[in-house]
Amino acid sequence: MTPVLYIVIPCYNEQEVLPITAPQFLAKIRQLTEAGKIAEESRVLFVNDGSKDRTWEIIRELAASDEHYLGISQSRNRGHQNAVLAGLMEAKDRCDITISIDCDGQDDINAMDAMVDEYLSGSEVVYGVRESRETDTFFKRTTAQGFYKFLSMMGAEVVYNHADYRLISARVLKEFAKFEEVNLFLRGLVPLVGFKSSSVYYKRAERLAGESHYPLRKMIALAVDGITSLSVKPLHLITGFGVFVAFLSFVGVLWALITALGGHTVAGWASTTCIVCFVSGVQLICLGILGEYIGKIYLEVKHRPRYIISERTWEK
Q: Choose the contact partner of 83 out of Mg ion, ligand UDP, none; CB within 5 to 8 A by kind.
A: ligand UDP
- The rounded distance, in Å, linking the Cα atoms of 105 and 116 is 19
Q: Element (H or E) spanning 65, and its range?
A: helix 55-65
Min CB(244)–Mg ion separation in Å: 41
Each residue 191-230 as x (binds ligand UDP by CB under 6 A) or -, in order, gives: ---------------------xxx----------------
Task: Assess 100 for contact with ligand UDP (CB under 6 A).
Answer: no
Q: Contacts with Mg ion in 90-119 (CB under 5 A)?
A: 102, 104, 106
Task: Assess 108 for contact with ligand UDP (CB under 6 A).
Answer: no
- The rounded distance, in Å, linking the Cα atoms of 195 and 296 is 27
Among 195, 176, 194, which Cα is nearest to 186's? 176
Min CB(195)–ligand UDP separation in Å: 25
Q: Contacts with ligand UDP in 33-92 (CB under 6 A)?
A: 49, 77, 79-80, 83
Residues 139, 82 contacting (CB under 8 angstroms): no
Report the DSSP pairing between strands 162-169 and 97-100.
antiparallel
Residues 42, 29 contacting (CB under 8 angstroms): yes
Q: Contacts with ligand UDP in 262-281 (CB under 6 A)?
A: none
- Overall size of the chain counted in residues: 316
Min CB(128)–ligand UDP separation in Å: 13
Residues 96, 5 contacting (CB under 8 angstroms): yes
Interface with ligand UDP by CB under 6 A: which residues?
10-12, 14, 49, 77, 79-80, 83, 102-104, 106, 212-214
